């Protein structure tokens, strides 16, 4: 099975769309598929100008054909059994890049208006070439709300129906902005492992098993919307500060190093605050605990996570009655939180210290996904 995945995010590899596509394609390859991923932004696509030259003067060939990368992927498009449309949600719809790609498919059709042979009540254009037989959608978005995907899902399903592509479904991920950040990627490791399993299942079974579909739709931020806002706003404030902007000033464009903060470095404080977004309330049950962080090194600070009633809050300052206290240099905890250092081994090596309920430290993996010591 040949799979063509199109990444419609302008951020190319530093994008949430890419991270999901990458995991999905890995799973598809596990099941024997032959996959190719194309970053549409790398094709320098020019928009269709509606001249119909591709229908009239040079049938099947666009005026832009020697000026951008569209022609270079058309063999893969025609040969694909499955196309995966990957696009972040932009203004409740697909990105301009993805729309430009779809518009540029015009030369694949002939000008004639005919009844669709497979749905005679509908009008169509005869196709010059076969396209993919099946299609699906992968889309992340910034807000934590799932309902805003509805207009775009409707659009893609309708396009698929009109092209007679069998629709394989959607992988939608709200609140996905942290997923584009390399340093935060480990927080999403369990989700991406499920995406990979989904890729394999889609190739083997042609559809997602219900249990997996349910797992993929799960809320990755069970701390709730307000905790998510707090975390997101803290993140933007921090980025603005790095640009020398006081909070509330007009944000500047993101620099490349901001888009890949493995080097630029999210602060240890933000990474700890980020644990509220991966908190697993079901695993916590009725746990009532204060996990205090006494951080030294380059980014000193004291703050804590308050776990109660199935929620987890980030609080500045020491906890009045800490259940567990972690004392670490910021460099050490950042390396652990971003998956670059093994937490258990670091403890055994004396790289950081833990006081209080060490059993809670052992449970951190279960409580916070892979944001663990």
Ligand X SMILES: Cc1cc2nc3c(=O)[nH]c(=O)nc-3n(C[C@H](O)[C@H](O)[C@H](O)COP(=O)(O)O)c2cc1C
What's the closest the beta carbon of residue 332 comes to ligand X, in angstroms? 29
- Residue 115 token pair: 């009844």
* Residue 150 to residue 167: CA distance in whole angstroms: 16
Instruction: Write the DSSP symbol of residue 48.
Output: P
Pairwise CA distance, residues 246 & 15, whole Å: 27
Indicate whether 231 belongs to the interface with ligand X (CB under 6 A).
Answer: no
Applying the rule CB under 6 A, the residues between 60 and 89 that interact with ligand X are 88-89
Q: How far is the CB of 35 from ligand X (least distance, A)?
A: 18
- Residue 2 burial (CB count, 10 A): 14
**In the range 329-368, which residues lie near ligand X by CB under 6 A?**
none
**Minimum distance, C-beta of residue 260 to ligand X, in the bound complex (Å):** 11
CB 6 within 8 A of CB 85: yes
The minimum distance between CB 241 and ligand X, in angstroms, equals: 20
Q: Does 35 bind ligand X (CB under 6 A)?
A: no
Return the half-sphere exposure (C-beta side, CA atoms, 13 A cut-off) of residue 260.
Answer: 8
- For ligand X, what does the binding mask look like between residues 92 and 111, x meaning CB under 6 A? x-------------------
Q: Is 177 in the site for ligand X (CB under 6 A)?
A: yes
Interface pick for ligand X out of 91, 129, 344, 353 (rule CB under 6 A):
91
Q: Is 9 in the site for ligand X (CB under 6 A)?
A: yes
H-run or E-run covering 308: strand 301-308
Q: Which two tokens stand for residue 73?
A: 């992927």
Nearer to ligand X, 52 or 236 (CB): 236
Q: Tell which one of 35, 100, 180, 277 touches ligand X (CB under 6 A).
A: 180
Task: Quote the least distance from Cβ 87 to ligand X, whole Å.
Answer: 8
Q: Are 86 and 21 in contact (CB under 8 A)?
A: yes
CB-based contacts of 339, cutoff 8 Å, min separation 6: 185, 186, 189, 370
Q: What mask, x for binding ligand X by CB under 6 A, covers residues 132 to 171?
A: --------xxxx----x-----------------------
Contacts 24+ apart (CB under 8 A), 120-126: 122/162, 124/162
CB-nearer residue toward ligand X: 28 or 89 = 89
In angstroms, the CA 62 to CA 58 distance is 7
Binding site residues, ligand X, CB under 6 A: 9, 11, 15-17, 88-92, 140-143, 148, 176-177, 180
């Amino acid at each position: 099975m040949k799979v063509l995945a199109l990444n419609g995010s302008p951020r190319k590899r530093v994008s949430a769309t890419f991270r999901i596509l990458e995991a999905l394609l890995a799973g598809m390859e596990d099941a024997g598929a032959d996959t190719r991923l194309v970053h549409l932004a790398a094709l320098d696509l020019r928009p269709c100008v509606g001249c119909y030259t591709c229908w009239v003067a040079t049938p099947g060939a666009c005026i832009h054909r020697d000026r951008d990368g569209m022609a270079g992927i058309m063999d893969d498009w025609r040969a694909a059994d499955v196309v995966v449309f990957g696009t972040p949600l932009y203004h409740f719809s697909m990105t301009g890049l993805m729309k430009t790609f779809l518009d540029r498919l015009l030369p694949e059709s002939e000008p004639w208006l005919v009844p669709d042979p497979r749905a005679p009540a509908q009008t169509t254009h005869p196709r010059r070439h076969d396209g993919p037989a099946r299609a699906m959608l992968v889309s992340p978005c910034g807000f934590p709300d799932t309902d805003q995907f509805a207009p775009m899902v409707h659009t893609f399903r309708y396009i698929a129906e009109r092209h007679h592509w069998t629709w394989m479904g959607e992988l939608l991920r709200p609140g996905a902005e942290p997923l584009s950040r390399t340093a935060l990627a480990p927080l999403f490791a369990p989700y991406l492992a499920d995406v990979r399993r989904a890729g394999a299942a889609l190739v083997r079974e042609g559809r997602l098993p219900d249990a997996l579909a349910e797992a993929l739709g799960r809320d990755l931020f069970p701390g709730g919307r307000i905790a998510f806002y707090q975390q997101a706003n803290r993140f933007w404030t921090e980025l603005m500060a790095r640009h020398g902007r006081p909070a509330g000033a007009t944000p500047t464009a993101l620099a490349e190093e901001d888009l890949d903060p493995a080097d630029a470095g999210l602060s240890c404080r933000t990474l700890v605050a980020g644990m509220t977004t991966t908190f697993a309330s079901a695993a916590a049950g009725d746990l009532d605990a204060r996990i205090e962080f006494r951080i030294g090194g380059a980014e000193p600070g004291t703050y804590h996570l308050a776990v109660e009633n199935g929620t987890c809050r980030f609080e500045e300052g020491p906890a009045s009655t800490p259940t567990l206290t972690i004392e670490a240099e910021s460099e050490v905890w950042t390396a652990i939180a971003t998956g670059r250092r093994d937490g258990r081994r670091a403890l055994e090596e004396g790289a950081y210290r833990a006081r209080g309920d060490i059993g809670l430290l052992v449970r951190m993996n279960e409580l916070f996904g892979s944001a663990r010591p």
